[in-house]
Amino acid sequence: MTPKADDVKTTYLGFDLSTQKLKAVQLSSKLEVNASAEVKFDSDLPEFRTSGGANFGPRIHEVFVQPVMWVKAIDIVLDRLVMQGADLSTVKAIGGSAQQHGSLYWSRRGVQTLKNLDSDKFLHIQIDDSAFTLNRTPIWMDGSTEKQCIEMETAIGGRMEMVKITGSKCYARFTGPQIRKIYQERSHAYEETQRISLVSSFLASVFLGDIAPIDYGDASGMNLFDIKEKKWSKPCLNSCAPDLEERLGEPVPTSSIIGNVSDFFVQRFGFPVECKVTAFTGDNLSALSGMVIEQDSLVMSLGTSDTLMMNLKVQPHLEEGHVLCHPTEIRQFMGLLWYVFKILHFHFLN
């Protein structure tokens, strides 16, 4: 059968905002790579003075990123795609993944800026420091919230209650304890925050031109989400910070289409008006869904951190490791074991 002309021209655009770089790939309807580009934070954006894509704070275990660095990376990666000859007018849908657990804090001005982007100006000129109430946003490498972990677990009835509800005990790098620390130590910034995004939903927000919802998969890495009921856990929210649910917004299934691309990208880069934006999710969740593995198989990922991933039909209650909402099978779960400093790599080689 001869493919339709529209199918031949249709492409899809995917983004991955990892710890060290932002990568974009344009695929044909046959999953062939039409174009790709990347921005390495350390070398391409030296003004932000990152090491391995992150900044290290004055206090032990504090690790952060300046959000405008990621915004500027979007400007650059799209320009590089265009310079390669990528035809963005053929893009039917945009999807993406990002490092998990990091959080961004939108100001009222930032939310309004998203909705009124000027296509004659770079994104980073408009979504600048004033778009955020915090210009040092904690990422997954930050381990400075042990105190907040203890407080949250105690407030809801203990560690195993946290595991039962959210799939994980409280981890210092998870979003919930990070939000609580900000509420305690930067209360004015928290009060001024209109919306909170994960890194994945932040990236989707830029393309949507509005605050994008957090997806079920990435939400389950926050110590705030009831992974069985697929909604925010009231006890966990209350243990974290006041008025938190309105800042997080309503979560959506990972497979959701959340809207059309912002007019900014239509006018500046030639995206079609009807181009869809899907819910973006966490990198590990995206990796598992992309592998399309059998039920009894394991996926090993060796990177900045090393991970083991698997499909789970039921939710086990494990004190170590994580159980997340499955990114594509809404009634199933995903198991994740995480190692830092190449421990998994070392054991694998031995």
Residue 48 has pLDDT above 60, yes or no: yes
Assign 346 a pLDDT band (cuts: 50, 70, 90). very low
* Higher pLDDT, residue 112 or 348: 112
CA distance 110 to 194: 9
Looking at the DSSP assignment, which residues form a beta bridge with residue 308?
A: 300, 337
Per-residue pLDDT tens for 122-151? 999 999 999 999 999 999 999 999 999 999
- Residue 179's identity, in one-letter code, is I
pTM, 2 dp = 0.93
Mean pLDDT of the chain: 93
Per-residue pLDDT tens for 285-315? 988 887 766 667 787 877 767 888 888 899 9
The mean pLDDT value for 254-271 works out to: 98
CATH topology of domain 5-292: Nucleotidyltransferase; domain 5 (3.30.420)
Residue 155 has pLDDT above 90, yes or no: yes
Provide the pLDDT for residue 339: 72
The mean pLDDT value for 202-227 works out to: 98
Select from 301, 309, 254, 307 the least CA-distant residue to 282.
Answer: 254
- Alpha carbon dihedral 323, 325, 330, 332, in 10-degree steps, equals -10
Residue 338 has pLDDT above 80, yes or no: no
If you ran DSSP here, which 8-state letter would residue 303 be given?
S
**Token output for 257:** 């289409």
CA distance 189 to 325: 31
Provide the pLDDT for residue 301: 77
CB 199 within 8 A of CB 17: yes
Assign 229 a pLDDT band (cuts: 50, 70, 90). very high
CA distance 263 to 81: 19
The mean pLDDT value for 178-198 works out to: 99
The mean pLDDT value for 324-330 works out to: 92
Provide the pLDDT for residue 345: 46
Provide the pLDDT for residue 294: 67
CB 249 within 8 A of CB 225: no
Spans of all domains in the chain: 5-292
- Residue 330's identity, in one-letter code, is I
Select from 345, 198, 224 the least CA-distant residue to 279.
Answer: 198
| High-pLDDT (> 70) share of the chain, % | 93
Q: What is the DSSP string of 316-348?
A: ---SSSEEEE-SS-TT-EEEEEEESTTHHHHHH
Q: Taking phi first (over 0 means left), then psi (-120 to 50 degrees means alpha), and beta for anything else, what does residue 306 get?
A: beta
